[in-house]
Structure 1
């Protein structure tokens, strides 16, 4: 466990719903409830509160609401009839964001103990129960729900309203088994952003009888949890260049870096230093220096990938680290632009704007990248503001909780450009083309390294302006289409 996530610094409270007979099924560690308690003991948990059987669904939900009202930090709600890898629970309990999230599996076959959900953009946008339908479901909820500190009031409100609906019979024949499922439905339909924490190859299943419990526990041994954690540290949705030319070997450095107690911020600092050396070599202007600068730029980008992989492996994210990493990317890239322009100018006679207008080209490339980043950040900020405005306009989830399906929101087929983008995502080749067209940082670093090492800085800047211009146009059209939706 990372040093920053010790039990002494934990602020997450866990509510265990030991309300079903399956929680008392036997296993090698006693009962399933005992086994779950042992797992929670090695995770960064402030306290564990157990709700026992006897009160019914309404009482269980009111118990969750009461705990949420007074909890000092995030609250995790999970049933005691759960058989899961410890690493699966750690996806929520060790994640430093401590945000609102749900464990999901992208095995989309729904079952009574695996209610359907729809996930888009790493968010749960629709959740189901025996009372709530989910059109176009693409994943299943695996019974573990976390409410971040800022969403505890929403959790309490949802739990109390659900309790009232259950007690008055307005939810139909639901039972205590569905308490966590209903809470997820309530949070999603009340507008709370819920991150989808995918369990990947890990197991996290609720059981109903001794045979299913034995089978579920037996399946746990089929998965190497440490290997899964390493695999999860490497992005599976990265750019083409990072996926095929960087990550296959930087993943080999993750565990050694963790054993050396290198922090992600330290790796970011090393990456900045290597990029500075790259800019210095580029500024020399002769062919050997250009090749050396290209190699160092590739190494700098590899270290930039490694710092994120190390952060995910050790789960030591921080707002400062994220900000520093983003700023470092911009500073390294612009320093390399300056180095390339100096090196090109050193080898040719000077003119008003430098040889062949190289300084104009460098400035234009830099401005274009600034504009592209502004498009991304301003759009993300606008989406966040719109989401907050929508949630504050209609904060009560009662009406949506009583709807059996929300086809108007979740079942509308995508048309036009967004529909085309979705279809492109389904095909491997077009998906990579879609990723590459926006010229992400990996492709930019590769473009700079190859063109500068093989040709010269003028070719580099012309290529950046051409490809970057297409990328900016694609971004603008895409943002307009999404906004219109």
Structure 2
């Protein structure tokens, strides 16, 4: 029977698997299990349930299923033989979305305690174990799995099915140390969307002996967790302009913003205010006014990046903040359109301004409706659909992409092509830069023509990609 250690909390419950001997290896004045408990005490968890009575893999899986079925809120499962940075655990346990996620490393060197996975678009799309193979793996699973509340039923069902298969010997020579690995396989093959939480330069390793445990603990001291937290607050997959012309210096404003107790929503509000000032100056129509408006627009976008960086650093995400940030982006952009049109003497400028605005609305609609359809499809598949693949299939084979998707995947392998691909879709950073540069050096007509030309190409590219992915 599991021991329950209730803690003051926010949302996540933790199932700590101490059913194998490695959890009792020494670490400092205690054991690895004690070390993990101390780390979890610093994180926002509601309850830690330690499963210590090892009755074999099937018994462990049924025990997890029993706990999950009587729990509300997100549930994280991790083994007691894990040696990890607290910051690595926080990537799952402190993330306010409380969604289904797995801790992964992009080091694709698989090992018995590092099963292979394949990650696409920030999601784990294939996962392995000693029985389940992953063709074209590009990452490894590091032993920490969290199931969001909506996926708890699926997790329990998967655990019970795996327990039955393991008891019958139909999964080959799987062992109790693979319990978490098998659960990830089951969730992925059941169609559940699993966010890939990458540890970056942090460490998270499972160990089997005292020497390995000592070496793993020593490795933790080689990494500055505070610096890693700052580095990971800057989006790794942002656009070209944001990455090279904004985030290079806004990252240095994160800690001062924290000291000033600025919230992400406050920074969003300041960013919106600067955009309104930019629109006011653009409406002046003179060269000096256009240049000053362009500078204010650049600063507004910089703060738009900073609010996200601050949210990631403090893990202060919220539905209100996400909604406010998205609405602020639309408001700022359209206010600038109005300012530019108002300051121009061109008699046809309002037609161009309205056309540019309509094009952006259409582009946002393409993205929003596709994202909504994907989310609805995942929800239906996870809630009512049967597993898309059998847990007895040794290989998780996905249909190879074709046409546009194959070209897009090929572009991802080349650095220059990958940046060009990001720029083609004209993300908000590139749009703000395009507006600022064309307004400062030319005029509003050139700005709107540039937005319509580049935006039209981007819309066609997006539409083709969405159609191809939907058909796939």
Shorter-chain TM band: over 0.9
**Residue in 2 that maps onto 1:468:** 455
Q: 2:418 aligns with which of 389, 406, 431?
A: 431
Distance 2:207 2:141 in 1: 14
**Residue 110 of structure 2 corresponds to residue 110 of structure 1:** yes
- Normalized per residue, the structure richer in helix is 1
More displaced 10-residue stretch of structure 1: 459-468 or 158-167: 158-167
Q: How does the TM-score come out when normalised to structure 2?
A: 0.96
Cα 1:391/1:26, change in 2 over 3 Å = closer
**What is the CA-CA distance between 1:427 and the residue it aligns to?**
1.1
**What is the CA-CA distance between 1:307 and the residue it aligns to?**
0.3
**Residue in 2 that maps onto 1:381:** 372
* Residues 16, 49 of structure 1: 8 Å contact kept: yes
**What is the CA-CA distance between 1:173 and the residue it aligns to?**
2.1
**Residue in 2 that maps onto 1:360:** 351
* Residues 192, 381 of structure 2: 8 Å contact kept: no
The root-mean-square deviation of aligned C-alpha atoms, in Å, is 1.3
SS in 1 for 2:343: helix
SS in 2 for 1:400: coil
Q: Deviations over 1:255-303 (max 9, x none)?
A: 1111211111110000011100000111111111111100000000000
**Residue 442 of structure 2 corresponds to residue 455 of structure 1:** yes
* Residues 20, 53 of structure 1: 8 Å contact kept: no
**What is the CA-CA distance between 1:470 and the residue it aligns to?**
1.0
**What is the CA-CA distance between 1:414 and the residue it aligns to?**
3.0
SS in 1 for 2:141: strand
Q: Where does 1:289-300 land on structure 2 (aligned, <5 Å)?
A: 289-300=289-300
Distance 2:237 2:277 in 1: 30
SS in 2 for 1:174: coil
* Residues 154, 383 of structure 2: 8 Å contact kept: no
**Residue in 1 that maps onto 2:471:** 484
* Residues 29, 35 of structure 1: 8 Å contact kept: no
**What is the CA-CA distance between 1:90 and the residue it aligns to?**
0.4
* Residues 103, 141 of structure 1: 8 Å contact kept: yes
**Residue in 2 that maps onto 1:305:** 305
**Residue in 1 that maps onto 2:276:** 276
Distance 2:464 2:73 in 1: 41
SS in 1 for 2:341: helix
5+ unaligned residues in a row in structure 2: which ranges? 1-6
**What is the CA-CA distance between 1:59 and the residue it aligns to?**
1.3
* Residues 189, 387 of structure 2: 8 Å contact kept: no
**Residue in 1 that maps onto 2:154:** 154
**Residues paired across the two proteins, number:** 466
Q: Where does 1:9-24 land on structure 2 (aligned, <5 Å)?
A: 9-24=9-24
Distance 1:74 1:387 in 2: 18
SS in 1 for 2:344: helix
Q: 1:370 aligns with which of 350, 361, 379?
A: 361
**What is the CA-CA distance between 1:396 and the residue it aligns to?**
4.7
**Residue 251 of structure 2 corresponds to residue 251 of structure 1:** yes
Q: How does the TM-score come out when normalised to structure 1?
A: 0.94
Q: Where does 1:56-455 land on structure 2 (aligned, <5 Å)?
A: 56-345=56-345, 355-391=346-382, 394-396=385-387, 400-407=390-397, 409=398, 412-455=399-442
Distance 2:447 2:14 in 1: 54
**What is the CA-CA distance between 1:406 and the residue it aligns to?**
2.6
**What is the CA-CA distance between 1:447 and the residue it aligns to?**
0.5
* Residues 101, 147 of structure 1: 8 Å contact kept: yes
5+ unaligned residues in a row in structure 1: which ranges? 1-6, 346-354
**What is the CA-CA distance between 1:186 and the residue it aligns to?**
0.8
**Residue in 1 that maps onto 2:3:** none
SS in 2 for 1:226: helix
* Residues 239, 443 of structure 1: 8 Å contact kept: yes
Q: Deviations over 1:121-144 (max 9, x none)?
A: 111111111111111111100000
* Residues 191, 387 of structure 2: 8 Å contact kept: no
Distance 2:377 2:148 in 1: 20
